């Protein structure tokens, strides 16, 4: 792929030749893009007022990425839907601001192919990182791409779908931070880290209670995935700007139900445009049980922790919530004591959580921290837009 | 003793007949008092603009009461001195606002008497609670008294000294809350509770290092006092509005040096004119290590705790400090995160602590909480004065 970028304020223009086979042509009203298609060299020239902001979200399958994405989209005010009139099995979700693509679409081997070669979907050999890099790079540069579709129903690779450059592109899946080239394209990265105990409790809940699988088969399927997971997925968390870690509660001794969770939001320090949230006193170490004289909570209560830690040799700030919210007043009380939330008005976190009270995790730290990370991404996006506007204004003055 | 009080705004007048033998006569300029002496019935009529506020401070001997008193006096701006021209062995300390009397002066048995009867100074039988009550009541009602003096040097009861009603009377010693009649006279009460481990470490420091006593003799003297201490002194803490508890540190495993202390300020809830201090969020439970990114502290650091507890069936709030301050910025940082301190300006606690940096405990929780309790007493006193002024103004309008 040949690619170069010419910044001509207020437009940034790029010439690229991605591996995808077709391009949109003309002026894209919403994105203020001019797109030219050159059939001979299969390249496009795109002039865009905005470069796409790219967010990476890594997690194992079935670990709440889609809930997270719905929360994120909601923060921007729109509802995410599959591309209109496209493949009904598309994994893509599009809203006014964001486009979420699933990295399973970059599987180079379909289900049969993986079986034949004896590799799991977690294995890098089952994924096309060159194409992933080229297409994410193209979208970031304002170029629409024809992205493949991995059909989760059939296990086959379907014909590609057109992905136009959105304001924010979220790439979610198993490997958003695996390939260093893709990693370098990310403006912000998140890793959803579900502990084995909780993963096991969730799988039992879903696969045993709802799908009739046996306990043994669930254990076996988790064990079978574990070596590849540990080798290829788990190490990505060291690169994440924010990690949401989901652990069993410490409020109930020996709890293995997985209904009450201890959730930790691990925020890397020194990340541009990302100010970690904190509790009461920035930089100190605090544990806080809000339930007391002013706020009463049911058993087992709620406990927060905040403090500086080291995570894979990086300085991080951690905010932790153990327990669950029973009532609205608990949620707003907690929100009122957190700082740097990047809300636009008092109570916005609570409002977002209430709006989606039917989403999994809306009464615990997973929902809380997903919502907060959503607000942080909005803030990061708005900072980038403001910086560009300032740069354009400065350039216009010259 | 016959006593009645007639409130005639702006003066409150009382007729009393205390057991003491002599009275001042005439107009007391500073206290705006008119004092009449009737020799026939040994009674006095006193008209005072202010009734004396009475504070009780209980603690074992050698547990820092005098340091506490010096801190308290300093909060009111004056220096405390023994009565001018009086007995050089007087235990009394007088400043512009406060008079501190030592309850040892109400010993009914001198050293020889106690030896003969086989009772310690801790035993109520060695103390005259009737006289203590009558004289504290008289002072509270604005009547000067002739208080006995227990001479700690000779172990004898010396001739009495005149105690004029001050704005604030502090009665400090072994039994300020033992007798219910005296207890009922207290506007505020404090108990200094030094744990046995710390008491032992301090005695070793003082009696072994400075006075050449043997370890065995120190142990024996502590053991000898313990039964009476447990029977008569310790139970008073249940009545205290504030308890300062001094314990070994938990920051250094198995520390027995007693140089680093864990100090707890236990504040009774629902006490009129006394709003407990708190850390960050009133009514919740918090532990806080201020040392971190913004504030660095030397080993073993500083740790705070705040939370609601139950103390002798009473609802209390506890603020705890473990560790010691090394530098000014640590002290002001901590002060800035405590609320309800009753300071008159930002940094007043720190200023008071620095002013007396040579006092014992100025770098730890004993000095911090003594200073804070001093500010709380000033606040209580000022509330009482304001209430009286408001009542007088209301009465004048009728």
- The CA distance from A310 to the nearest CA of chain B, in Å, is 12
Q: With 80 as the cut, is the pLDDT of residue B85 above it?
A: yes
User: DSSP label at B364?
Assistant: B
Phi, psi (rounded to 5 degrees) for B261: -120, 150
Q: Which of B268, B282, B289 is best to mutate for the A interface (most A CBs within 10 A)?
A: B289
Closest listed residue to residue A349, CA positions, set A358, A365, A193, A172: A365
- Looking at the partner chain, which of A283, A289, A291 has a beta carbon nearest the beta carbon of B292? A283
pLDDT band for B36, please (50, 70, 90 cuts): very low
Residue B187: count other Cβ atoms within 10 Å of its Cβ: 22
| Model pLDDT for residues A305-359, shown as the tens digit of each residue | 999 999 999 999 999 999 999 988 899 999 999 999 999 999 999 999 999 999 9
Tokens linked to A331: 């949620």
Give the rounded distance of the alpha carbon of B15 from its chain centre: 28
Provide mean pLDDT across the span B373-395: 95
Closest listed residue to residue B91, CA positions, set B29, B173, B166, B28: B173
Q: What pairs with residue A248 in β-bridges?
A: A261
User: DSSP label at A268?
Assistant: E
Tokens linked to A343: 């809300």
Q: Sort strands B3-8 and A43-48 into parallel, antiparallel or unpaired.
A: unpaired
| Model pLDDT for residues A219-258, shown as the tens digit of each residue | 888 888 899 999 999 999 999 999 999 999 999 988 877 7
Residues in chain B whose beta carbon is closer than 8 A to a beta carbon of chain A?
A: 280-295, 307-308, 337
- The CA distance from A380 to the nearest CA of chain B, in Å, is 24
- The Cα B211–Cα B33 span in angstroms is 47
User: DSSP label at B394?
Assistant: H
- Looking at the partner chain, which of A284, A293, A337 has a beta carbon nearest the beta carbon of B292? A284
Q: Which of A275, A276, A279, A285 is best to mutate for the B interface (most B CBs within 10 A)?
A: A285
Helix/strand/coil for A311: strand
pLDDT band for B63, please (50, 70, 90 cuts): low
Q: With 80 as the cut, is the pLDDT of residue A10 above it?
A: no
Evaluate whether A175 touches A58 at the Cβ level (below 8 Å): yes
- Looking at the partner chain, which of B281, B294, B308 has a beta carbon nearest the beta carbon of A290? B281
For A336, which residue in chain B has the nearest alpha carbon?
B281
- The CA distance from B276 to the nearest CA of chain A, in Å, is 13
pLDDT for B222 = 84
Which stretches within chain A are classed as H helix?
Answer: 65-75, 111-117, 129-140, 180-185, 196-203, 215-228, 328-337, 348-355, 365-397
Helix (H) or strand (E) holding B365, with range, is: helix B365-397
Phi, psi (rounded to 5 degrees) for B304: -110, 155
Provide mean pLDDT across the span B163-184: 97
Phi, psi (rounded to 5 degrees) for A200: -65, -45
For B333, which residue in chain A has the nearest alpha carbon?
A281
- The Cα A365–Cα A325 span in angstroms is 9
Chain A contacts of B314, Cβ < 8 Å?
A: none
Q: Do A289 and B285 touch (CB under 8 A)?
A: yes
For B269, which residue in chain A has the nearest alpha carbon?
A293
- Looking at the partner chain, which of B284, B289, B294 has a beta carbon nearest the beta carbon of A292? B284
Tell me which long-range contacts B47-51 makes (C-beta under 8 A, separation of at least 24).
B47/B8, B47/B11, B47/B12, B47/B13, B47/B142, B48/B11, B48/B12, B48/B13, B48/B14, B48/B142, B48/B165, B49/B10, B49/B11, B49/B12, B50/B142, B50/B167, B50/B385, B50/B388, B51/B12, B51/B140, B51/B141, B51/B142, B51/B388
pLDDT band for A203, please (50, 70, 90 cuts): confident
Tokens linked to B305: 């705790």
For A315, which residue in chain B has the nearest alpha carbon?
B293
Q: Do A308 and B289 touch (CB under 8 A)?
A: no
Helix/strand/coil for A22: coil
Q: Do A281 and B287 touch (CB under 8 A)?
A: no
- Looking at the partner chain, which of A290, A291, A308 has a beta carbon nearest the beta carbon of B292? A308
- The Cα A185–Cα A141 span in angstroms is 10
Residues in chain A whose beta carbon is closer than 8 A to a beta carbon of chain B?
A: 280-295, 307-308, 337
Q: What is the DSSP string of B273-298?
A: T----EESSTTSEEEEE--SSS----
Give the rounded distance of the alpha carbon of B343 from its chain centre: 19
- The rounded percent of chain B whose pLDDT value lies above 90 is 67
Which residues contact residue B51 at a Cβ distance below 8 angstroms, ignoring those fewer than 6 apart? B12, B140, B141, B142, B388
- The Cα A297–Cα A331 span in angstroms is 11
| Model pLDDT for residues B218-276, shown as the tens digit of each residue | 888 888 889 999 999 999 999 999 999 999 999 999 887 778 999 999 999 999 999 99
Q: Do A288 and B291 touch (CB under 8 A)?
A: no
Q: With 90 as the cut, is the pLDDT of residue A79 above it?
A: no
What number of CA atoms fall less than 13 Å from residue B112's CA on the CB side? 3
User: DSSP label at B95?
Assistant: -
- The rounded percent of chain A whose pLDDT value lies above 90 is 67
* N-term to C-term CA, chain B: 34
Q: What pairs with residue B53 in β-bridges?
A: B168
Q: Do A284 and B288 touch (CB under 8 A)?
A: yes
Chain A contacts of B289, Cβ < 8 Å?
A: 284-286, 307
Q: Which of B268, B275, B286 is best to mutate for the A interface (most A CBs within 10 A)?
A: B286
Helix/strand/coil for A64: coil
Closest listed residue to residue B13, CA positions, set B58, B57, B59, B44: B44
Q: Do A281 and B286 touch (CB under 8 A)?
A: no
- The CA distance from B36 to the nearest CA of chain A, in Å, is 52
pLDDT for B142 = 95
Provide mean pLDDT across the span A361-380: 96
pLDDT top residue among B315 and A217 = B315
Chain A contacts of B280, Cβ < 8 Å?
A: 280-281, 286, 288, 337
Q: Do B280 and A285 touch (CB under 8 A)?
A: no
Provide mean pLDDT across the span A154-168: 95
pLDDT for B80 = 84
For A316, which residue in chain B has the nearest alpha carbon?
B293
- The CA distance from A297 to the nearest CA of chain B, in Å, is 11
Q: Do B285 and A285 touch (CB under 8 A)?
A: no
Evaluate whether B177 touches B189 at the Cβ level (below 8 Å): yes
Helix/strand/coil for B5: strand
pLDDT top residue among A49 and A58 = A58
Q: With 90 as the cut, is the pLDDT of residue B335 above it?
A: yes
Q: Sort strands A261-268 and A314-323 into parallel, antiparallel or unpaired.
A: antiparallel
- The Cα A191–Cα A177 span in angstroms is 9
Q: Do A281 and B288 touch (CB under 8 A)?
A: yes
Q: Quickly count helices (H) and strands (E) in chain A.
A: 9, 19
- The CA distance from B56 to the nearest CA of chain A, in Å, is 29
- The CA distance from B352 to the nearest CA of chain A, in Å, is 24
Tokens linked to A22: 């077709």
Tokens linked to A354: 């209430």
- The Cα B116–Cα B111 span in angstroms is 9
Least confident span in A286-290, A329-333, B183-187, B252-256: B252-256
Chain A contacts of B308, Cβ < 8 Å?
A: 292-293
Closest listed residue to residue A373, CA positions, set A274, A307, A249: A274
For A280, which residue in chain B has the nearest alpha carbon?
B280
- The Cα A153–Cα B243 span in angstroms is 69
Chain B contacts of A281, Cβ < 8 Å?
A: 280, 288, 290, 294, 337
Chain A contacts of B337, Cβ < 8 Å?
A: 280-281
Q: With 90 as the cut, is the pLDDT of residue A37 above it?
A: no
Chain B contacts of A293, Cβ < 8 Å?
A: 282-284, 308
- The CA distance from B250 to the nearest CA of chain A, in Å, is 16
- The Cα B355–Cα B362 span in angstroms is 9
Give just the sign of the alpha carbon dihedral A166, A169, A172, A175: positive
What number of CA atoms fall less than 13 Å from residue A204's CA on the CB side? 13
- The CA distance from B376 to the nearest CA of chain A, in Å, is 22
Residue A364: count other Cβ atoms within 10 Å of its Cβ: 22
Q: With 50 as the cut, is the pLDDT of residue B22 above it?
A: no
Evaluate whether B72 touches B377 at the Cβ level (below 8 Å): yes
pLDDT for B156 = 93
- The Cα B333–Cα B348 span in angstroms is 12
Helix (H) or strand (E) holding A350, with range, is: helix A348-355
- The Cα B237–Cα A294 span in angstroms is 27
- Looking at the partner chain, which of B283, B286, B307 has a beta carbon nearest the beta carbon of A286? B286
* N-term to C-term CA, chain A: 34
Provide mean pLDDT across the span A278-284: 96
- If you count residue pairs, one on A and one on B, with CB atoms under 8 Å apart, how many are there? 67
Cut 0.95: pTM above it: no
For B337, which residue in chain A has the nearest alpha carbon?
A281
Evaluate whether A145 touches A20 at the Cβ level (below 8 Å): yes
Return the residue matching tokens 């709620």.
A302
- The Cα B375–Cα A166 span in angstroms is 61
Report helix angle B348-355 to B365-397, nearest 10. 120
- The Cα B105–Cα A205 span in angstroms is 74
Chain B contacts of A251, Cβ < 8 Å?
A: none
pLDDT for A293 = 87
Q: Compute CA distances A26 → A3, A23, A44, A45, whole Å.
A: 20, 10, 11, 11
Provide mean pLDDT across the span B365-379: 97
Helix (H) or strand (E) holding B396, with range, is: helix B365-397
Q: Is the ipTM of this complex over 0.90?
A: no
Query: What's the mean pLDDT when you consider all of chain A?
Result: 87
User: DSSP label at B22?
Assistant: -
Q: Compute CA distances B272 → A241, A370, B54, B311, B384, whole Å.
A: 51, 45, 14, 18, 10
Q: Which of A290, A292, A309, A320 is best to mutate for the B interface (most B CBs within 10 A)?
A: A292
Query: What's the mean pLDDT when you consider all of chain B?
Result: 87
Q: Do A284 and B289 touch (CB under 8 A)?
A: yes
Return the residue matching tokens 């990295």.
A103
Provide mean pLDDT across the span B19-29: 42
Tokens linked to B62: 């050698």
| Model pLDDT for residues A296-314, shown as the tens digit of each residue | 899 999 999 999 999 999 9
For A334, which residue in chain B has the nearest alpha carbon?
B281
């Amino acid at each position: 792929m040949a690619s170069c970028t010419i910044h001509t304020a207020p437009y940034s223009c790029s010439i690229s030749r991605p591996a995808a086979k077709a391009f949109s042509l003309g002026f894209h009203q919403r994105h203020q893009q001019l797109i030219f298609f050159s059939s001979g060299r299969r390249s496009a020239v795109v002039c865009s007022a905005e470069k796409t902001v790219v967010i990476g979200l890594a997690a194992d399958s079935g670990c709440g990425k889609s809930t997270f994405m719905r929360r994120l989209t909601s923060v921007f005010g729109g509802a995410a839907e599959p591309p209109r009139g496209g493949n009904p099995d598309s994994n893509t979700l599009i809203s006014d601001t964001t486009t979420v693509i699933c990295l399973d679409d970059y599987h180079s081997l379909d289900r049969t192919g993986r079986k034949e070669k004896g590799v799991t979907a977690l294995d890098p050999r089952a994924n096309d990182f060159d194409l992933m890099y080229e297409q994410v790079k193209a979208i970031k540069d304002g170029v629409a791409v024809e992205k493949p579709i991995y059909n989760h129903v059939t296990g086959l690779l379907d014909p590609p779908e057109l992905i136009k450059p959105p304001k924010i592109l979220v790439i979610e899946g198993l490997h958003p931070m695996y390939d260093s080239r893709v990693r370098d394209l990310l403006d912000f990265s998140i890793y959803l880290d579900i502990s084995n105990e909780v993963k096991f409790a969730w799988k039992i809940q879903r696969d045993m209670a709802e799908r009739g699988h046996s306990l043994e088969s669930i254990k076996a399927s988790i064990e079978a995935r574990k070596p590849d997971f540990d080798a290829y997925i788990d190490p990505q968390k060291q690169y994440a700007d924010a990690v949401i870690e989901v652990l069993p509660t410490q409020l109930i001794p020996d709890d293995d139900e997985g209904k009450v969770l201890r959730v930790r939001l691990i925020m890397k320090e020194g990340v541009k445009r990302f100010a970690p949230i904190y509790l009461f006193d920035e930089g100190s170490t605090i544990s806080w049980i809000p339930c007391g004289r002013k706020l009463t909570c049911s058993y087992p209560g709620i406990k927060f922790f905040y403090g500086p830690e080291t995570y894979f040799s990086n300085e991080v700030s951690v905010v932790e919530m153990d327990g669950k919210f029973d009532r609205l007043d608990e949620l707003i009380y907690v929100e009122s004591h957190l700082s740097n939330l990047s809300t636009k008005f008092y109570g916005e976190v609570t409002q977002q959580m209430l709006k989606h009270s039917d989403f999994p995790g809306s009464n615990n730290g997973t929902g809380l921290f997903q919502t907060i990370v959503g607000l942080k991404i909005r803030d990061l996006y708005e900072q980038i837009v403001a910086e560009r506007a300032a740069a354009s204004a400065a350039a216009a003055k010259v």
